[in-house]
Amino acid sequence: MKLQRNGRTKALAIGAVAVVSSLTLAACGSNNNSSTNAGGSTPAASSSSTGGSAASACGSGQLLGAGSTAQQNAVTQWVKDFQTKCPSVTVNYQGTGSGAGLTSFEAGKVAFAGSDAAMKPADVTKTKAVCPGGQGIDLPMIGGPIAIAYNLPGVNSLVLDAPTLAKIFTGKITNWNDTAIKTLNPSAALPNLPIQTFHRVDSSGTTNNFTAYLNATDPTDFPYKATKVWPAKGGQSANGSAGLAAQVKAVKGSISYFEMSYATEGNFSTVQIATGAPAPVAVSAANATTTIADAPVVGTGDDLSLKINYATKAPNAYPITLVTYEIVCDKGNNASSLPALKAFLNYTISTAGQQSVTSLGYVPLPAALQTKVQAEISNLG
């Protein structure tokens, strides 16, 4: 399924992309770890004075975030929306990758980190140093399927399954006319063309989700555990989801993985996944919603991390689906920036915020989960 993407959000620049905007949100709650978090810089002065309850609800100053490129396009849109209501706040989000974002958060350089993978226990321990009296928690913010995009002229429809994908990305299948691919696509005119795989070079939550899927569904051909750093030998690499998308666009015979928002933006051909369901499942928001709705909360305490069933065989459930999180301190946030952090997060999890990015290929969280996230935001201290 290909979606037409709003031209307002062109965020496919390779590398870290800074999104800086003035913001105002009268109706939002407030929460913000500012640039004065441990090791951070001093917050910028308010760009405007709104006065009264509006300024109080929005907070003021500079709000810094970094991390996931999977949520980069969503954050770009959220900031644009939020800025019309909260010009007293400046939000700067850098899409550096989930791993780098978490590192920045653990160093106290940002108020929140975007990550497509929940923190591990060792990560949580590290966050206690920058969350006095508390620790970092994972707040689910938006969902999205990971597209398997390819550049194969003349082949507009392609079905692959987990074992075939595992063999392709580990170099066991090296040509597009391989018997395994032909068996899944008997009517396709598959060329005698080498397969060129591309993976993320940076530490990435998207890679974590893709490797988790491959290992959960075919541990024999993909014996590597879920990891943010690509574990298999061979293939070529690029930085960020935008970098992978650029390589697939340019290289004939290529295949890679990145969020559907990038596939939508670039009008890529994408793989349908044979899961064992009655029919192969296309990458789409609706099919990802089916998967996310079935994901239980497995985090403890205030943490709301989820567990995706990558091996699902349910009809219309797209298995390679991620939930991208905002990592924040449950306690110990900078008091001066906390109102702005809460305001921004309350907007992103609101119905308006969730719906504002659906045209970009993102999937709103289930209403019950949105309510849980809102409750955690209100309790941030």
| pLDDT for residue 54 | 52
Q: Model confidence over 219-245: pLDDT tens digits?
A: 999 999 999 999 999 999 999 999 999
Q: What is the mean pLDDT of the chain?
A: 87
User: Is pLDDT at 31 greater than 60 in this prediction?
Assistant: no
Q: Model confidence over 73-95: pLDDT tens digits?
A: 999 999 999 988 999 999 999 99
Q: Is 255 left (phi over 0), alpha (psi -120 to 50) or beta?
A: beta
In this prediction, residue 305 has a pLDDT band, given cuts at 50, 70 and 90, of very high
Percent of the chain with pLDDT over 90: 81
pTM of the model: 0.77
User: Is pLDDT at 40 greater than 80 in this prediction?
Assistant: no
In this prediction, residue 333 has a pLDDT band, given cuts at 50, 70 and 90, of very high
**What is the signed CA dihedral for 205, 206, 211, 216, rounded to 10 degrees?**
90
Number of H helices, E strands in the chain: 13, 12
Percent of the chain with pLDDT over 70: 85
| pLDDT for residue 9 | 36
User: Is pLDDT at 180 greater than 70 in this prediction?
Assistant: yes
User: Is pLDDT at 50 greater than 50 in this prediction?
Assistant: no
Q: Which three-class secondary structure string do you get for 197-262?
A: EEEECCCCHHHHHHHHHHHHHCCCCCCCCCCCCCCCCCCEEECHHHHHHHHHHHCCCEEEEEEHHH
| pLDDT for residue 11 | 35
Residue 334's φ and ψ, nearest 5 degrees, are -65, 125
User: Is pLDDT at 21 greater than 80 in this prediction?
Assistant: no
Burial annotation 187-211 (CB, 10 A radius, 16+ → b, else e): ebebeeeebbbbbbbbbbbbbbbbb
Q: Model confidence over 125-163: pLDDT tens digits?
A: 999 999 999 999 999 999 999 999 999 999 999 999 999
In this prediction, residue 361 has a pLDDT band, given cuts at 50, 70 and 90, of confident
46 versus 160: the higher-pLDDT residue is: 160
| pLDDT for residue 49 | 33
| pLDDT for residue 56 | 63
Q: Model confidence over 182-225: pLDDT tens digits?
A: 999 999 999 999 999 999 999 998 999 999 999 999 999 999 99
Structural domains in the chain plus CATH codes: 18-143+323-379 (3.40.190.10), 147-287 (3.40.190.10)
